[in-house]
Structure 1
Amino acid sequence: MYSSAQKIEFENIANPHSWFLISSELHDQAKHLKQSCTTQITKRSSTDSVSWKSSNRSVILLAGFALENILKAYLIYENPSFVSEGVLSKEIQTHSLSKLARRSQLLPYKERGIKTLTYYEDGLESWARYPCGLNWAKTKEQRLLDERSWTNYLWLMRAYESRFKKLLKRGWKGEHEFDGWYEIDGNWLS
């Protein structure tokens, strides 16, 4: 389907370090938006009133995609064949953070992190992206980002970064010509 040169170029673009960098960019934007948003939305009914930051959906969506990218970085590190034919393997063509995490053998805190992953996965699959589901039964109410869920997200990203930087320092070899290692200094996902 693709030439050898195209497969090599795709492998160069889709290497685990690239997924790590995108995760970092999304993570930075989620943190910035959470800290900088000052506008509020209030929903009132005859019995109560609830308020939240207008950036709620966007912060959860960005954080969820940051998690998705770092999980895919781990999976591609472990399985170079996932990017070897010039296409992403069907194994990682999902937004299900819990499924991606379960596939990894190197991911730290798999069981401990599953609740946090599920929280953000729910937004990626529905309410953080769209106002409604495909039908009434698949429509979910927006969740409000609470400090505990945000703190758990930040902790998980730090843990993922710490292990991943050590893995990349050991190197990564693709199935074609890619063979390299990365020394990453500083805090990227912290």
Structure 2
Amino acid sequence: AMASEALRGNREVVLAAVGREGAALQHATETLRSDRDIVMAAVACDGCALEYAGRTMRNDRDIVLIAVRSWANALQFASDSLRRCPDILLAAVDSSVQDEQTYLRYASEDAFRDPAFIQALIKRDSTSNSDSPSQHKFLRFAPEDVQRDPKVVDALEHHQQMLRTRRKRRRCW
């Protein structure tokens, strides 16, 4: 156990380990779990390593951004303040191939009160195929007043027009 503890606290050993397997961060000492270079290497390898990072690392914008770009669900391990940060949330949306309900449930409700954030979500959406703007998949996260915001309504209408144009083009091929 003595050698094991020594290895868990050896910066070079831990850095090499997390570079190959991000989740190896869980075996590092508390001090190394808060070492920015080590945590950065771990989340770059595997976003789920954010779970094992020290508290200050979970509040580091760059680290969280790398983690959610690797694995959208890493959002659940980010600090509260970063879970309401639009660029972090949009990075999760951009990186995910799964249903947004899976990872956006970890987002702060505050983010969905921002019409500009909802607009950005709608603009990024290339998978929604609903013909009804009111059925857009991201609207279920927003309060009613945001859903009725003129800029959000415009973004929805533009998105629907884009989908109709795309469907027409497919029929021509």
Q: TM-score, normalised to structure 2's length? A: 0.26
More strand by share: 1
- RCO comparison, higher one (Cα < 8 Å, 6+): 1
Q: TM-score, normalised to structure 1's length? A: 0.25
* Largest Rg, 1 or 2: 2
